[in-house]
Amino acid sequence: MNPLKRFGIDTYMLLLLAMVLAGVFLPAGGALAAGLKQVTWGAVWLLFFLYGAKLDPRTVRAELLNWRLQGLTFGATYLLFPLLGIGFAAVFAPVLGPDVTLGLLFLSVLPSTVQSSIAFTALAGGNVPGAICAASVSNLIGVALTPLLVTLLMHRAGGGTSLGAVAGIGTQILLPFALGQILRPRIGGLVARHKRLTMAVDRGSILLIVYAAFSAGTIAGLWQAIPALRLILLAGVIALFLALGMAAMVMAGRACRLPTADRAALFYCGATKSIATGLPIAAALFPADQVGAIVLPAMLYHMSQLLVCAFLAQRGRG
């Protein structure tokens, strides 16, 4: 027996930590980064194809009408977190500086993650169809709503929507899921009998996402963007922001008496933020010389949420 398990650390957690260290000290750059991007894309595509192949379409349709889960997730993403962002910006602006504070506000209005939030929900035994609906709707709406909220919160001119983000959600998430649904009568039973395959794709895609995120941050000069002391302070602020957001999701799920599976979907979809959608929007909204500092809070939040959610999901929590 692994002696580290008594501290909540198992082989998968060690692999996650290894991916973090590899991304920081051995980041994928150039052709390797391009190859990693393609492999990660393919792993996520396969993940959603398998989800589609094993999910009853009647369940998916029902989840679109699950107004409590969908409404709470949307409210958390586009109401609760922006309010938290305004409060944090007011308190911490003197120590973070203007650009990083702007980034904190930008983080607060980003949509939910898609790939990782659904994978974590599945890993925790939560409501996967509900998570697919919540995360996909959050991103499709967020492509238009995030720039609008940025404009309202920061008094800046909006930069429009990212058609690439919409296309990405369609081709990487919705298309394979739809294909899986179409082929479900033929292959659904086979997928259901090989649960280890789905688990391997779940966990493997998360490991790839973690390594890719840390690699991209390192290559982009994430750790040189601000002084060391300010980076430490920002890490503390982000940790508090994440903790409050997650605590709010837990309390909301209990207060609204959601079923356990729905609570997991709310937790992983409501408390996570997407840099996949956020980075293209940031590039469209802000001057090039400001983008690095502005997206830094989102990068740190993204990395933190992956580690915390992975730790909780494999223990069936959320």
Burial 285-306 (b: 16+ CB within 10 A, else e): bbeeeebbbbbbbbbbbbbbbb
Task: Please give the average per-residue pLDDT across 66-73, as a whole number.
Answer: 92
Q: What is the pLDDT of residue 166?
A: 55
Q: What is the pLDDT of residues 199-231, one digit of tens each?
A: 787 778 778 877 887 788 788 776 776 778 888
- Higher-confidence residue: 11 or 175? 175
Mean per-residue pLDDT, 73-95: 94
Provide mean pLDDT across the span 138-150. Answer: 76
By the 10 Å C-beta count (0-12 exposed, 13-18 middle, 19+ buried), 268 is classed as buried
Average pLDDT over residues 250-268: 95
Amino acid at 82: P
Residue 85 has pLDDT above 90, yes or no: yes
Percent of the chain with pLDDT over 90: 27
Rounded Cα gap, residues 156 and 230, in angstroms: 25
- Nearest to 51, CA basis, from 116, 112, 119, 146: 119
Kindly report, residue by residue over 22-53, the tens digit of the pLDDT. 988 998 888 888 888 888 888 878 877 887 78
Q: Which tens digit of pLDDT belongs to each residue from 145-202?
A: 887 787 777 654 344 444 555 566 677 767 888 898 899 888 888 887 777 777 787 7
pLDDT for position 147: 75
Query: CA 50 → CA 42, 127, 158, 254, distances in Å?
Result: 12, 15, 38, 31
- Identify the CA nearest to 300 among candidates 225, 239, 216, 228: 239
> Please, which pLDDT band fits residue 7 given cuts at 50, 70 and 90?
very low
Q: What is the CATH number of domain 10-313?
A: 1.20.1530.20
